[in-house]
Amino acid sequence: MPFISQIQRQTDYSSFPSSCPIVIDNGASYFRIGWAGETDPRVMFRNIVQRPRHKTTGETVTIVGDHDPALMKYFDCTRSGPRSAFDSNVVYQFEIMEYILDFGFDRLGADRSQVDHPVLITECPSNPIQSRSKMAELLFESYGVPSVAFGVDAAFSYKYNQQLGFCDNDGLAICSGFTTSHVIPFVDGEPVYEACCRTNVGGYHVTDYLKQLVSLKYPHHMSRLTWEKVEDLKMEHCYIASDYASEVRLFQKGDKEAEEKTRCWQLPWTPSPAEEPPSEEIARKAALKEKQSQRLREMAEAKRSSRINELENELKGLEFLLQQLNHVEENDIPSFLAESGYVSKQGIESSLVKVTQSLRKAKREEVESEEKADPSTAEKYTLINIPDNMLTPEQLKEKRKQLFLKTTSEGRQRAKQKRFEEELEREKLNKQDEEKRLENPELYLEELRTKHRELSEKVEQRKRLKTNGGHTNGNNVSGGVGRGERLNAAQKERMRLLTTAAFDRGKGEDTFGIKDEDWQLYKLMSKDNDDDEEGPDEDEAELARISSRLREIDPAFVSKSEPGSSASEIPRFRPLTKEDFQVILGVERFRCPEILFNPNLIGVDQAGLDEMTGVSMRRLPSKGEGLEERMTKSILLIGGSCHFPGMAERLEAGIRMIRPCGTPIQVIQASDPIFDAWRGASAYAAAMHFPQQTFSRMDYFEKGEDWLRRYQLKYTL
């Protein structure tokens, strides 16, 4: 049953005499109001209030109940969520209660100067007096109600079903509501409040549990999982397993039965447009890249040829100069040389050699001088072998220079050798990779993809930690230290160090820094942050390598290189399929209502429904003979949360476990678990002796709070 609301303004308010009471079922989920004696409430709506701002006029308005989302778009609802007057099952926010009552009375058709009818309103069992008195005050003062009566909704429901014959004078009412669940025993038709039992788990908690579980399992669909939608899902698909352990084992085994019990919710999804555009794009991009590289190559070629031309010109000039030198006479050499700018003939020759070398390099010929260096080193290092004491100082200097040259050239050779070996290694690995790929392309691709994913996650996580740590590093004073930093062990250690360092120095002068150990602290503190930086570099290099590889071989790969991408995106390693948009409810179907029987699952340390019946019967003050047997024979299920299929059987099994063997147990669901409370209250209010059960404004002021505390309705009239 999805949300129902009936808010048509009633027009026959004036046709009811002043003595006809108004009956209100004030529940944490729904508010129902109507006239006594009728079978159905006239007006009902969800018991929530929203106060959004109207977008254009800017005024804050009040909207009661759940409304059409199409109309809500005119309002700015960001700062106003739905608010309830209830805290657990007790009314505490009377301003909201007043809005709700306003709306209720208004839709019932009230139009005179005050609400001139007695009012019967429901409350929770053992309602605190404050709540009760404030409610009475509200009704008396603001609405001018002549007399008020308070009753427990479960009791009204029970009496109504008793009249219908579903249960007897002595029985047990198990009422599972929106925020709480109660077990109330009835003896001689009256509820025994001393033996009543309440657990703070209700339909709201079941829905919340389901919502959390599904959001955690499918974080990308979180936006679609609104509370209302999850409530719908719960009402449609959840059931109570007769035995949780065996049911779960079915699912664990993966039986066909388990498959049948799994429900799949398909979200609306449009398949992405087919592969033509991507491949076209890819081809286009490839062509662009080709053109760019072509252009670059041409530019490089042009530069190189121009450089070669320059060098050749220079070479020609130098040769010409040499020739001229040969032709010039001996005396004119210095002046001629001074003109050309070279110091001596050797200078010209050496620059000639240099230019030829660079020309040859530009033409990519083997540079002979390098090879020449090797045999020449043997000659150049002649001095090394001669021991020191036989050399003159200049020769010693020479020797040192030669030593230095030798070691560096040897080092260079070694490095070249190592590079060569590494190249070979990499070639070998690549070949192996290729072989693996050729033999099993799919598997290889998958492996690569998973590796990429793991690495990228690791890198991202470390980056996240780093930025968190970075924030504390920069901004200790601003107080923006969040949970992310505190939970890391390294950061905790750092904080500890900081606090002890700051604390030890105490009053007086600051003696920090005198001892050497103090500076060790700085090293430790800063090391924590440096440590993180070396690790990921290799990971990142690996990641880059794998992504480039994937890009080559996998046409559908899109590298996730943005650091800011959150986990809420679907990892796009393959084109999105229909399955990505399915929400599968398997174990959750019966795991969520299980909390009604086992509140430990959500951390509420109280007894579940079946245990509560035992507790309640134990608490009975006076046990006549056979009373308990009579009670177990008429157990009634009331409340919205008892609509789960399988609840009656489970309760029966549970109660059988705690009662002596062979006791008759009968668990019946009320004729209409949701509306029976209102119907019972309406029948009660229509009875003749009802006015004696109410109290008027005079009573309220004269008799005081103590009397109000002890005020209880007598349910058998």
465-484 residues near another protein, rule: CB under 8 A: 483-484
Please pick, from the candidates 22, 33, 121, 197, the single residue that binds another protein as defined by CB under 8 A: 197
User: What kind and span of H or E run contains 205?
Assistant: helix 203-217
Q: Tell me the three-class secondary structure of 132-190, residue by residue.
A: HHHHHHHHHHHHCCCEEEEEEHHHHHHHHHHHHCCCCCCEEEEEECCCCEEEEEEECCE
| Residue pair 176/609 in contact by the 8 Å Cβ criterion | yes
Rounded CA separation 262/239 (Å): 12
The CB-of-611 to another protein minimum distance in angstroms stands at: 6
With binding defined as CB under 8 A, does residue 698 bind another protein? no
With binding defined as CB under 8 A, does residue 131 bind another protein? yes
Strand 263-266 vs strand 582-585: parallel, antiparallel, or unpaired?
Answer: antiparallel
Please pick, from the candidates 567, 570, 687, 717, the single residue that binds another protein as defined by CB under 8 A: 567
The CB-of-651 to another protein minimum distance in angstroms stands at: 15
Q: Which amino acid is at 546?
A: I
| Of the candidates 24, 32, 36, the residue with the CA atom closest to the CA atom of residue 7 | 32
| Per-residue x/- track, 22-51, another protein (CB under 8 A) | ------------------------------
- Identify the burial level of 497 via C-beta atoms within 10 angstroms of its C-beta, where 0-12 means exposed, 13-18 middle and 19 or more buried: middle
The CB-of-103 to another protein minimum distance in angstroms stands at: 6
Q: How many CA atoms lie within 13 A of 207 on its CB side?
A: 21
| Residue pair 154/713 in contact by the 8 Å Cβ criterion | no
With binding defined as CB under 8 A, does residue 546 bind another protein? no
The CB-of-213 to another protein minimum distance in angstroms stands at: 7
With binding defined as CB under 8 A, does residue 690 bind another protein? no
Residues within window 242-301 making contact with another protein, judged by CB under 8 A: 244-245, 248-249, 251-252
Tokens coding 680: 């019972």
Q: Tell me the three-class secondary structure of 31-87, residue by residue.
A: EEEEECCCCCCCEEEECEEECCEECCCCCECCEECCCCHHHHCCEECCCCCCEECEE
Q: Which is nearer to another protein, 499 or 600 (CB)?
A: 600
With binding defined as CB under 8 A, does residue 143 bind another protein? yes
The CB-of-90 to another protein minimum distance in angstroms stands at: 5
Strand 147-152 vs strand 197-199: parallel, antiparallel, or unpaired?
Answer: unpaired
Polymer length of the chain: 717
The CB-of-694 to another protein minimum distance in angstroms stands at: 19
Strand 635-638 vs strand 171-176: parallel, antiparallel, or unpaired?
Answer: parallel
With binding defined as CB under 8 A, does residue 93 bind another protein? yes
Please pick, from the candidates 90, 637, 674, 681, the single residue that binds another protein as defined by CB under 8 A: 90
Residues within window 203-242 making contact with another protein, judged by CB under 8 A: 209, 212-213, 216
With binding defined as CB under 8 A, does residue 584 bind another protein? no
Tokens coding 573: 């390693």
| Residue pair 433/417 in contact by the 8 Å Cβ criterion | no
Residues within window 643-672 making contact with another protein, judged by CB under 8 A: none
The CB-of-597 to another protein minimum distance in angstroms stands at: 10
The CB-of-168 to another protein minimum distance in angstroms stands at: 23
Please pick, from the candidates 534, 562, 605, 625, the single residue that binds another protein as defined by CB under 8 A: 605
With binding defined as CB under 8 A, does residue 571 bind another protein? no
- What is residue 484's three-state secondary structure? helix
The CB-of-522 to another protein minimum distance in angstroms stands at: 27
Q: Which is nearer to another protein, 49 or 318 (CB)?
A: 49
288 alpha carbon, distance to own chain's centre = 41
With binding defined as CB under 8 A, does residue 330 bind another protein? no
Count of residues interacting with another protein (CB under 8 A) = 83
| Residue pair 117/147 in contact by the 8 Å Cβ criterion | no
Contact window for another protein (CB under 8 A) among 67-75, 390-398, 535-543, 679-687: 67-75
